[in-house]
Structures are given as C-alpha cells and as structure tokens.
Structure 1
Amino acid sequence: MASDQGNNQSVERAISVLRAFLTGRPELRVSDVAKATGLGTSTASRLLATLETLEFVERDEVSGLYRLGTAPITLGGVALNQHPVHREARQIAQDLAAALGLGVNVAIRQDDSMFYLANFEGRLAPRSFVLTGQRKPLYATGIGKCLLLGLSAEERRALLPAMPPFTPSTITGHDRLDEELATVLGRGYATEIEELAFGRACVAAPIRDRSGAIVAAISISGPLSAIDLPAREAELARTVIETADSVSIGLGYVGPAHLLGSRT
C-alpha cells in the first residue's frame, strides 16, 4: 500500500507540473513550475527532466525555458478521435464553418463548465488561437445554456451556486437563468450576445444521443458585425437546429430535438 501511495503521489506531481502550463504562459522556468505546483525546486526540476525524456515537455537549449511537448498533442488527438460526439460532429461543423464563414463550435459539459471538443473558424470570424480543449462558463454561453437544459432547476442551483459577471449582459441570477432556459426549450435554440465577451455573439442548439439525453451542443458564433443576429437570427437558428439534429441522428437519436421536452 505504501508503494502504491508513493506511485500515486508521483503521478499527481507529474500531472501538476503539466497543469502549470495551462496558465497561458507558453514557456516557464523551473522556478515558475515550482511556484505554481507548490513543489520544491529540485523536485520540479527532476520531474521536468523526466517529462522531457517522454516528450511531454521540451526545453529550449538557449533560454533553458520549458514548454509543452508533442506527447500531449498526440494524446489529445487520440482522445478526440475516440469521442463519439467529435466523430459525428467534426466534418459537419467544419463544412458549416466554411459555408457560412462563421465560427462553429461543439462542446460537452464537464462539471460546472462547458468543454470544447471542436472549433472551426470561417473567413468572417478568424481567431489567433484554438478553442478545442478550453473550458467556458455554462451560464454565459449559448452552448452552455443548451447543456443546462439537461438539468433540473434544483440541480442547476447546486451546480452553479455563484454566477459572477463577465460583462454587463451576463446572466447572474438563477431566476433570470430559469426564464432564459424556458425560452431556449420552447424555441429549440439559445442565443448569447456579449454575455461572455464584448463584440461577440452566437446561436446554439442541443445535441442528443440515442436515449434522448442532451450530451453536447453546437453553436454558430462570430463578431457582432459578421453574425448580425438582428437580421439573421431566424436563419441561423434554423441552420443550427438542423445541424444539431443531424449530429443527434448520427448518435442514434430518432426524434426532432427541438420538439422534445426535458426536465426544468
């Protein structure tokens, strides 16, 4: 048992070192990793050296700084390829982004956050970074609102005890969120206009599996000027619902997602 505990601790420490690179800084010193993980400098250095031999991190020979290596990319690619929602949605989302010139995103719920499985940007909605693998708040995103439809009001309150604002448009109260989700359920799609970030908006719809459960959601997103919701909401809503239904059918669902109820 003592040996197992020691091995488990070693794994936890190694994972904590890798997570230190999630802060957004592309390169870190050994001291940065030690500070972020709470490990001693010598322990952090030893773990980094081991992770370097396994290609999980790389060390710049000139600066001595560490960055993530290629092994996490390999693992991430395999994980995505094995995920049923990603397999069904990837090509559909990519084709839609190219056709509309806007962003198309697919995400699932992970605890109290949404987790991006796929992200494609059209010519009208370019980004300098990839959203895949990132987490965003459920209550401040169109996809998140769709994912919250799968929970009861009581479950939502337990999951999201606090909803801090990101912009003046962010929904921060559960009564208001309940009203918003009732609207989403009734019309089959969600919208989000500058609730998470200024200058951006989206339209989203839920994706269901063969049991009818909401397992993911897909959105069409972009800058306000490109998505132009005041003029195009009906068109984009119809498109995103049809796209979500196509993915749902690929997952074994046989009913129109936007006409079936869920718990509220």
Structure 2
Amino acid sequence: MPRSTTVREVGGGTQSVERALSLLRAFTEEHPERRVSELVQLTGLGQSTVSRLVGTLEALGYVTHDARSGLYRIGPTVVGLAGIALNQSPIHRQSRQIAQDLASELGLGANVAERHGAELFYLCNFEGRLAPRSFTLVGRSGPLHATAMGKALLSDLTADEIESLLGARYPVYTPKTIADLDGLLAALADGRSRGYTTELEELAFGRACLAAPVRDRSGRVVAALSVSGPLSALDLPHRQDELALKVIEHADQISTGLGYHASATPLSATV
C-alpha cells in the first residue's frame, strides 16, 4: 500500500478516523502488542474492517507488524509525534535539564508531570544510579491521590474542586494508599505547610517519593517535580530534609523559568 494512503480511503471519513484511533488506543502499557483477533474483540469492529485499517496504519508507520509472531505494536510515526508534542511543551523544555541534573546529583529518579483531568501525566523521567528502571515513565499516567506528584498538582485546588474532580474515585494500591477525600485534604494541608508532598509506599511497596509544585507566571500550579526511588536509596529517616530542600529548590528553578515570581504566591517553605 502506498505511503500516501490516508485513513479516509478505507471508508467513511470521520468514522474511519475514529475507528483507526480506537485501534491505536487498544495498545497499552500492559498490552503493547496485539493480534488482529484481539483488536477485533476489543473494538467490536469486523475482522475485514480491522485488517484494512491496520494495513493503512502500518503503511503510515503508526503500527509495525512482526510477520513471525503475527503481532502488531506501536510504530515510529507515533513516537515521532510524541516527540513533537513534548518538544512543544514549555514545561518539558524548561524542566528537562533541571530534572536530569537532579537525578544525576542525587542518584535517584527525577520526574516531572502535569495534570490531565483526574490523572497526572509524566513529561520527564530520568533514572539515577541508585534507582534504575528498564523503562521510561514518559507518556504514562498515574493517580493523583496516591502519588507525591499528584498531591503537589492538587495543592492549589479547593476542597470542592478536588471533590468535583475525583468524586469517590480513590483506588487502593497498598494498605497505605489514601482512600478518601478527608485523608487527601489532610495530606495536602501538610504538604502546603512544608512546601512539598510525600508518598510512602502508597502506590507500590518498597518505594517512596517527594515532590514540589511548579508554577507559571500567574502563580498557578502547572506541574510537579519529584525525586523517587526504593526506600533503601531515599533513606528518608536520615535524608528527608535534604531531599525535600533539593526538590523544592529545583522546582523553584523551573517555576522561575516559566515566568513565576516568588512575591506573587508563596512557593517554597522551610522544611
């Protein structure tokens, strides 16, 4: 099929676009590879329709096909578009080097995220020597109530706004996960008083995180910066104050780069 083929050619204009996007959405972190039969089952589309659409997506580079296994996976065109989107983000551009330097200095993971609706969305992820990962968090989403970055992103919202945003959705990941609005509000109040938020085995056993909010020129919280890693690497009983000061300092740098002036809204707090 020629490289110039468009989704419209497989029939239906907007409907074909919607169907093609539904196929792409079937690829997830948990299931990065799919067979045609799986795509048929997940989307409810006919096999002939799925086969035609997948063929077009492959020709355009949105998916690739392993002839040996019969599996499809996300292709280079999607990766290219993701890179364009990240490079157009002022937050990503301003925070990337700062987060990378922080990860190198501390040997821990350094992450930047912004809020998309009721979830956080990772824009940057760098691993330090003490907190290696075999995968990147960039592009992944996460819960607001069970992460230090999520709490930082919620830190300038009112109780009513948080209730409207999250409703009763407080999935429990470990016995330490905050499971209701009152618990979350208490954690946010604690975070505001200290200038940073924490997560101690709330999302995953054996891991912890400290985060600080990032503000734009209006003073609004637009992102969060965190340091994270295994409990043994963070050594919070001895290093929490040190790590908190580092994450606040670097979050302040990003905020300043985004045009924020500390006189407008209190940002840092004494740890």
Give the TM-score normalised by the residue count of structure 2.
0.92
Q: State which of 168, 179, 186 in structure 1 corresponds to 2:186.
A: 179
Shift of 1:257: 8.6
8 A contact 2:114–2:120 mirrored in 1: yes
Q: 1:217 corresponds to which letter in structure 2?
A: A
State how far apart, in whole Å, the 2-side matches of 1:23 and 1:102 are: 23
Measured against aligned partners, the alpha-carbon deviations of 1:146-185 in whole angstroms (never above 9, x if no partner) come to 1111321011111112212110000011111111111111
Match for residue 190 of structure 1? Answer: 197
RMSD (Å) for aligned C-alpha atoms: 1.7
8 A contact 2:210–2:244 mirrored in 1: yes
State how far apart, in whole Å, the 2-side matches of 1:101 and 1:23 are: 26
Shift of 1:24: 2.1
Q: How many residues align?
A: 258
Q: State which of 229, 251, 259 in structure 1 corresponds to 2:258.
A: 251
8 A contact 2:219–2:265 mirrored in 1: no
Match for residue 207 of structure 1? Answer: 214
State how far apart, in whole Å, the 2-side matches of 1:73 and 1:199 are: 31
Q: 1:72 corresponds to which letter in structure 2?
A: V
103 and 258 in structure 1: CA distance in 2 versus 1, 3 angstrom threshold: farther
State how far apart, in whole Å, the 2-side matches of 1:256 and 1:47 are: 54
Q: 1:204 corresponds to which letter in structure 2?
A: A
State how far apart, in whole Å, the 2-side matches of 1:228 and 1:219 are: 15
State how far apart, in whole Å, the 1-side matches of 2:153 and 2:29 are: 26
196 and 256 in structure 1: CA distance in 2 versus 1, 3 angstrom threshold: farther
State how far apart, in whole Å, the 2-side matches of 1:159 and 1:7 are: 34
Shift of 1:34: 1.1
State how far apart, in whole Å, the 2-side matches of 1:146 and 1:70 are: 33
Measured against aligned partners, the alpha-carbon deviations of 1:178-209 in whole angstroms (never above 9, x if no partner) come to 11111111110001000000010011000000
- Secondary structure in structure 1 of the residue aligned to 2:128: coil
Match for residue 145 of structure 1? Answer: 151
Match for residue 87 of structure 2? Answer: 81
8 A contact 2:252–2:267 mirrored in 1: no
90 and 205 in structure 1: CA distance in 2 versus 1, 3 angstrom threshold: same
Q: State which of 31, 40, 43 in structure 1 corresponds to 2:37.
A: 31
By percentage of residues, which structure has more helix? 1
State how far apart, in whole Å, the 1-side matches of 2:158 and 2:194 are: 18
State how far apart, in whole Å, the 1-side matches of 2:116 and 2:156 are: 13
- Secondary structure in structure 1 of the residue aligned to 2:145: coil
Give the TM-score normalised by the residue count of structure 1.
0.94
Shift of 1:119: 0.3
Match for residue 119 of structure 1? Answer: 125
Match for residue 104 of structure 1? Answer: 110
Gapped regions of structure 2 (runs ≥ 5): 1-7
Match for residue 5 of structure 2? Answer: none
8 A contact 1:115–1:134 mirrored in 2: yes
Comparing 217-226 and 158-167, the one that deviates more = 158-167
Instruction: Please show how residues 40-51 of structure 1 align to structure 2 within 5 Å.
Output: 40-51=46-57
46 and 133 in structure 1: CA distance in 2 versus 1, 3 angstrom threshold: same
Gapped regions of structure 1 (runs ≥ 5): none
131 and 260 in structure 1: CA distance in 2 versus 1, 3 angstrom threshold: closer
State how far apart, in whole Å, the 2-side matches of 1:256 and 1:193 are: 32
